[in-house]
Amino acid sequence: MAKLYFKYGTMGSSKSAQALITKFNYEERDMKVLLLKPMIDVREGHDVVRSRIGLEAPCVMVGEDEDLYQLYLKHHGEIHVIIVDECQFLTPDQVDQLGLVAMEYDIPVLCFGLSTDFLTHMFPGSKRLFEIAESISEIKSVCRCGAKATVNARFDDDGNIVYKGSQILIGGNGRYEAMCRKCWLKKKKEQEARGIL
């Protein structure tokens, strides 16, 4: 029986690279992969999943109104696996749709993404994945101090950590850094003492 998988980690934990390596592994066995990415993420351009280490592959961009169950049905019989990068940007309904594909058509669905935003609040898509995925695993990364990174710290143009704002702000290495919660809270105290928040 195929499963709905959620593989989550912080920024910089190699989620996209692992998604692309997984795609390669299936294709090496002559299996067809449907690689998806939410349309909101255009950091690397449209129609491509690209990792920081240089791996990349074309993908299908999906809008938040797209029915992923129906999208799969358009390819039914051709696709052996679905892989989703940046799955935190899926809607809860889209996660449910992918879960039905896995269950009804015995197609593995592997979702790679963040669990929480820069304020440590869950993204709606990630929350739904935690609720219904049959397999959940963490892709670990480390803070500068060497501890396990759990927070996706967002920085402003002056290098200060941001502790308020909209949940979604697409950015890359210069805008976000994975940190442990202890360092994140320590930096917050330091900024509060200087009147920066």
Catalytic residue numbers, as ranges: 86
Q: Using CA atoms, how far apart are residues 127 and 136, in angstroms rounded to an integer? A: 12
Q: Using CA atoms, how far apart are residues 79 and 60, in angstroms rounded to an integer? A: 13
Alpha helices in the chain (DSSP H): 15-28, 68-74, 92-105, 124-132, 181-193
Mark residue 62 as left, alpha or beta (left: phi above 0; alpha: psi -120 to 50; beta: remaining). beta
What are residue 97's phi and psi, to 5 degrees? -60, -45
Residue 62: half-sphere exposure toward Cβ, Cα within 13 Å = 28
How far apart are the two ends of the chain, measured CA to CA in Å?
49
Sequence-distant (≥ 6) Cβ neighbours of residue 188 within 8 angstroms? 161, 163, 197
Helix (H) or strand (E) holding 151: strand 151-155
